[in-house]
Structure 1
Amino acid sequence: MHHVQYGPHRISYTIQERPELAAHYLSVAQHEGVVLKGPRLSAAEADSLVLKKARWILDKLALVRAPRPEDVVTGSRISYLGRSYYTQVVFVPGLPKAQVTFNHSSFRIQVAPEGDVQAAIAQALAAFFRAKARAKLAPRLRQCAAQTGLTYAALKIRQMPKRWGSCTAQDVIMLNPEVMKLPFTLIDYVLVHELCHTRVKSHNKEFWAELARHCPDWKELDKRVKDIRL
């Protein structure tokens, strides 16, 4: 790693020797940082080239390091069981797979700085919510079925872009692992809603009447669920 000082700013950069190139080029990327590419040159020459483009480099670094609204970074909040938790992202060079841990007060995500960091974090979080859904939703669905007297054939956990859950013609209940972001009051509403579809498949008057038998406050719960962006 090479360094140059530009006023109060210390610019770190790496050199990639590319003898096939006719000139030297600078690139700035979020995870690669500043890279000088081109034929072999002395350290002094490299520093001079970087300093000539220092203002441009600093502008680019500010741009690529600025998180997008959807990015998960240290300080982000992740919803889980109706609450929003502080998140810490820790970079571990060479880590083969991002890892998510939750200690009931915050999330900690370990991820390699190489490659697409946000894609790796998204995959790890998806795996976390799938695992929690499998562990927590199956016994809760059995409990809801026992309380309502409604029966179902099987439970499947499946990512769905626009639904919290669904019920097939064969009475297989499918639940989106994103359900784990809801408080238990709304989770139970989603479960009972889908259980009612084992008796009435469409959202007709008969269905809403069936739902009202088990959830007298279903209108309020339904509105709360719909107000949460999936």
Structure 2
Amino acid sequence: MPQFQYGQTVIEWRFQLAPELKRHYITVERGELVLLRGPDASLEEQTQLIRQRARWICEKRQQVNQIATEALIVTGSRLRYAGRSYYAEVHHQPDVKSVTLRFTASRFVIQNPTGASITPEQLAPFLTRFYMERAHSKLLPRLRYWEKKTGLVSHGGRIKFFQGRWASCDANNIIEFHPRIMEFSAAVQDYIIVHELCHTVEKSHSKAFWVLVSLHMPSWKLHHEELERTGIEDF
């Protein structure tokens, strides 16, 4: 695997060719090599991309490793939704066949047949299903709102799992959103929507693209910085 020395840290990565993408993406995940995806790039070009984001990669590694050391999810733990951290209740319910998760106005309620605690890995598919349902009911109507507000028109929106990005606008101007966008505040969700709508006009992250984003959302940099603090980086 290729390597890059950043101070005392060695960054190893693997490159995944994705010719359908117009730019490169970096993903940092716990226990995995750094993933660089995008159009064909020489080893020198890959190294330059890694060098440019070496500090960011090291910070993200530290964050995801801290997440790995978190305790089991129990009553009193916090779960992310809509930009906030909500209280969670975990109830031992031996009579239920599988884990259930529901959200009230102020908390998550989890029923677990095996005990009063649950690992993040065990809860993940149920939390993902919750995000998926909320994305369909809230994010897609918000897309239509921003189309009317900006005059930028897509050919539809859908919810889809990605590796290494939060959303995408394809060549047919169909916009796809990762369900985990629902972890972020409404303001950040709106930024992602506006960002992708601007790609219906400007396909690359050119100067003209960012001018268009600024026109429709002058505060976009604040929301972009919040996305950069996650483990996914979009060039």
> Could you tell me the TM-score, scaled by structure 1's length?
0.65
Map Cα deviations across residues 85-107 of structure 1 (whole Å, 9 max, x no partner). 11111122252232111111111
Give 1:71 deviation, angstroms: 3.9
Give 1:177 deviation, angstroms: 1.0
Counterpart position of 1:217: 219
Kept after mapping to 2: 8 A contact 1:111/1:120: no
Secondary structure in 1 aligned to 2:149? Answer: helix
Q: Does 1:191 align with 2:183?
A: no
Q: Mean Cα displacement is larger for which, 214-223 or 148-157?
A: 214-223
| Aligned 1:163-182 pairs, distance under 5 A | 163-182=165-184
Structure 1: which 5+ residue stretches go unaligned? 1-66
Distance 1:221 1:109 in 2: 31
Distance 1:70 1:198 in 2: 43
Kept after mapping to 2: 8 A contact 1:87/1:107: yes
Map Cα deviations across residues 165-204 of structure 1 (whole Å, 9 max, x no partner). 1111111111111111111111101110011111111111
Secondary structure in 2 aligned to 1:84? Answer: strand
Relative distance call for 1:196 and 1:182 in structure 2 (3 A) is same
Kept after mapping to 2: 8 A contact 1:97/1:120: no
Secondary structure in 2 aligned to 1:180? Answer: helix
Distance 1:177 1:135 in 2: 11
Q: Does 1:77 align with 2:78?
A: yes
Counterpart position of 2:99: 98
Counterpart position of 1:112: 113
Map Cα deviations across residues 49-101 of structure 1 (whole Å, 9 max, x no partner). xxxxxxxxxxxxxxxxxx95164332221111111111111122252232111
Give 1:210 deviation, angstroms: 1.3
Kept after mapping to 2: 8 A contact 1:129/1:180: yes
Secondary structure in 1 aligned to 2:123? Answer: helix
Kept after mapping to 1: 8 A contact 2:75/2:89: yes
Q: Does 1:125 align with 2:127?
A: yes
Distance 1:229 1:184 in 2: 20
Counterpart position of 1:61: none
Distance 1:100 1:187 in 2: 23
Secondary structure in 1 aligned to 2:152? Answer: coil
Secondary structure in 1 aligned to 2:114? Answer: coil
Q: Given the alignment, which residue of 138, 157, 160 partners 1:158?
A: 160
Kept after mapping to 2: 8 A contact 1:100/1:108: yes
Relative contact order higher in (CA < 8 Å, ≥ 6 apart): 2
Distance 1:70 1:154 in 2: 40
RMSD value over aligned CA atoms?
2.2
Kept after mapping to 2: 8 A contact 1:73/1:89: yes
Task: Tell me which amino acid in the other structure corresponds to 1:149.
Answer: G
Task: Tell me which amino acid in the other structure corresponds to 2:109.
Answer: R
Counterpart position of 1:138: 140
Secondary structure in 2 aligned to 1:108? Answer: strand
Relative distance call for 1:86 and 1:161 in structure 2 (3 A) is farther
Distance 1:94 1:168 in 2: 46
Kept after mapping to 1: 8 A contact 2:140/2:158: no
